[in-house]
Amino acid sequence: MKGIVLAGGSGTRLYPITEATSKQIIPVYDKPMIYYPLSVLMQAGIRDILIITTPEDQINFKRLLEDGHKFGLNLEYTVQPSPDGLAQALLLGRDFIGDDCCALILGDNIFYGSGLEKKLKQAVINAEKGLTTIFGYQVKDPERFGIMELDINNNVLGVEEKPEHPKSDYAITGLYFYPKGVSDMASRVKPSARGELEITDLNRLYLEESKLKACLLGLGYSWFDTGTFDSLLDAANMIKSIQNNRDSVICCPEVIAYHNNWLTDKELEDRAILLQKNAYGKYLFKVLKKGKKK
């Protein structure tokens, strides 16, 4: 299965911070924002990942992530010349995806919770069976999001983009798992009234074929769309609290790769030495001392 991180956009809601750099590179507590969506794809077992950036910012992503080897990944890059909708990512990634299933995650989305890995791997299984999985999270202001309408058994009845009168309080988060042929399906999406290829319209095509499933993230899960100053601070505070309480680093690509057997002891040690002057590097040494999970 392939993965795509959409890290384009101009980040105008975070000006002046993002006037000179991509939103997805700025820190969320102790690591760059893009580490968080990368860690989600890695927890799903995905190693081949395409990073979609703006033309101006691609050089900085390549400087930060390189070819992915330090995380046990195979990273490729392409640009989104202009922000013409989320579904456009699946057209830009057509050659990269090829005849594989594909997960798409937005570069400013943060997910955390016990049991998340199990849900992600079920979404991979769904995709291999020809089904699309979208992830829902209850919010107080659903009119700000794409939302999913559900029946009493949590089957998807409808999807709608920023409705004036929402039929549900379950927002559709920026994480989607698609079966083979998603680029062909995305090519059927027509520009919306605002001139964009809406991901909601793509998901509706799968719903019309009875191939859309919902995975609800309930109590015990956190989801942040870190596109505003408040959400950015809220996410940083949550991560700081969890890490300090547990004396650990969450959403750590190196550790996920190590436990997935994508990095050797020596490779993790090399990263730990490079980062040894801070708590992040010290945590890598701690993980290395404990050894890989059985």
Give, for all 294 residues of the chain, the pLDDT tens digit.
999 999 987 778 889 888 888 899 999 999 999 999 999 999 999 999 999 999 999 999 999 999 999 999 999 999 998 888 999 999 999 999 999 999 999 999 999 998 999 999 999 999 999 999 999 999 988 888 889 999 988 889 999 988 888 899 999 999 999 999 999 999 999 988 888 899 999 999 999 999 999 999 988 899 998 888 999 999 999 999 999 998 899 999 999 999 999 999 999 999 999 999 999 999 999 999 998 776
Contacts of 118 (CB under 8 A, 6+ apart): none
* Three-class DSSP category at 31: strand
Contacts of 256 (CB under 8 A, 6+ apart): 39, 42, 43, 71
Burial of residue 252 (CB within 10 Å: 0-12, 13-18, 19+) is buried
Rounded Cα distance between 148 and 209, Å, is 16
pTM: 0.95
Domains in the chain, please, with CATH? 2-131+174-290 (3.90.550.10)
Chain-centre distance of CA 183, in angstroms?
A: 18
Residue 279 has a CB neighbour count (10 Å cut-off) of 15
- Output the pLDDT for position 88: 95
Burial of residue 153 (CB within 10 Å: 0-12, 13-18, 19+) is exposed
- Output the pLDDT for position 83: 84
- Output the pLDDT for position 13: 84
Distance from first CA to last CA of the chain, Å, rounded? Answer: 24
Contacts of 115 (CB under 8 A, 6+ apart): 220
- Output the pLDDT for position 17: 84
- Output the pLDDT for position 294: 64
